[in-house]
Chain A
Amino acid sequence: MVCKPSVSPKIADMRVLVVEDDRKTAGFIQKALKAEGFAVDVMPSGADGLRALETTPFDAAVLDIMLPGRDGLSIVRQLRQAGSTLPILLLSARGDVNERVEGLDAGADDYMSKPFALAELIARVRALGRRTGEAKSNTLRVADLSLDIISRQALRGSRSIALSDREFRLLEYLMRAPGRICSRMMIIEKVWNYDFDPGSNVVDVYIRKLREKVDADADTKLLHTVRGVGYTLRAP
Chain B
Amino acid sequence: MMRLRHNLTLRYSLVMAACLAVLSAVAYHEFVREPRLFQAAKVADQTEYEWFEAAEVAVFASMPVIFCFGWWFIQRALRPIDDLVSSVEHFHAGNLQHRSARSFNLDEVDRLATAFNAMACRIEQSFQQIQAFTLDASHELKTPLTIMRAQIETLLESDPLSALQRESLHSTLEEIERLARIVDGLTLLMKADAGLVPLRREPIAFDELVSESAEDAAVLALPLEVAVEIPRCDPALILGDRHRLRQLLLNLIDNATKYNRPAGSVTISLTAIDRTAELRITNTGPGVAPELAERVFTRFVRGDHSRSDGVEGSGLGLAICKWIVEAHDGTILMTPAPDRTTVTVRLPLSVPEPARNGDGQKAKLP
Measuring CB to CB, which residues of chain A are less than 8 angstroms from any residue of chain B? 22, 24-25, 28, 32, 66, 93-98, 113-119, 166, 192, 194-196, 198-202, 205-206
Q: Which residues of the partner chain A approach B145 to less than 8 Å between Cβ atoms? A: 114-115
A62 CB to closest chain B CB (Å) equals: 13
Collect the chain A residues with CB atoms within 8 Å of residue B188's CB: 96
Number of A-B contacts (CB under 8 A): 83
Chain B contacts to A: CB under 8 angstroms: 135, 138-139, 141-143, 145-151, 153-154, 176-177, 180-181, 183-184, 187-188, 197-198, 215-216, 219-220, 222-223, 243-244, 246-247, 250, 254
A205-B143 contact in complex given A93-B138, A118-B153, C-beta closer than 8 Å: no
Partner of B146, one of A115, A166, A194, A198: A115
In whole angstroms, how far apart are the Cα atoms of A67 and B138 in the complex?
A: 14
State whether A24 and B147 are in contact (beta carbons under 8 Å apart), knowing that A66-B139, A93-B142 are contacts in the complex.
yes
- Chain B residues near A199 (CB-CB < 8 A): 254
Interchain CB contact under 8 A, A114 and B222: no
Residues in A with CB closer than 8 Å to B187 are 94, 96
Distance of A195 Cα from B177 Cα, bound (Å)? 16
Q: Which 4 A-B pairs have the closest CB atoms?
A: A93-B142, A115-B146, A95-B184, A93-B139
Shortest CB distance B259–A (Å): 15
What are 11 of the A-B contact pairs (CB < 8 Å)? Answer: A22-B143, A28-B154, A66-B135, A93-B138, A96-B188, A97-B243, A113-B184, A115-B180, A118-B150, A166-B215, A205-B219
Known: A96-B184, A205-B219. A196 touches B146 (CB 8 A): no
- The docked-state distance in angstroms from the alpha carbon of A28 to that of B139 is 18
Decide yes or no: A98 and B138 within 8 Å by CB, A22-B143, A116-B146 being known contacts: no
In the complex, besides A95-B180, A205-B219, 9 extra interface pairs with C-beta distance below 8 angstroms are A24-B147, A66-B139, A93-B139, A93-B141, A114-B180, A115-B146, A115-B177, A194-B246, A198-B220
**What is the bound-complex CA distance between A213 and B131, given in angstroms?**
49
Find chain A residues with CB under 8 A from B154 CB: 28, 118
Given contacts A28-B150, A198-B250, is CB(A94)–CB(B180) below 8 Å?
A: no
Question: Would you call B184 and A201 a contact (CB within 8 A)?
Answer: no
**Which residues of chain B are within 8 angstroms of A95 by Cβ–Cβ distance?**
138, 180-181, 183-184
Partner of B219, one of A119, A195, A206: A206
Q: Which of B149, B223, B254 contacts A115 (CB 8 A)?
A: B149
A-chain residues with CB within 8 Å of residue B139 when the two chains form the complex: 66, 93-94
Set of chain A residues within 8 Å of B254, measured between Cβ atoms? 198-200
Question: How far apart are the CA atoms of A201 and B141 in the complex, in Å?
Answer: 27
Chain A residues in 8 Å Cβ range of B149: 115-117
Contact call A114/B143, Cβ cutoff below 8 A: yes
Task: Check A94/B222 contact, CB under 8 A, given A24-B147, A114-B142, A195-B243.
Answer: no
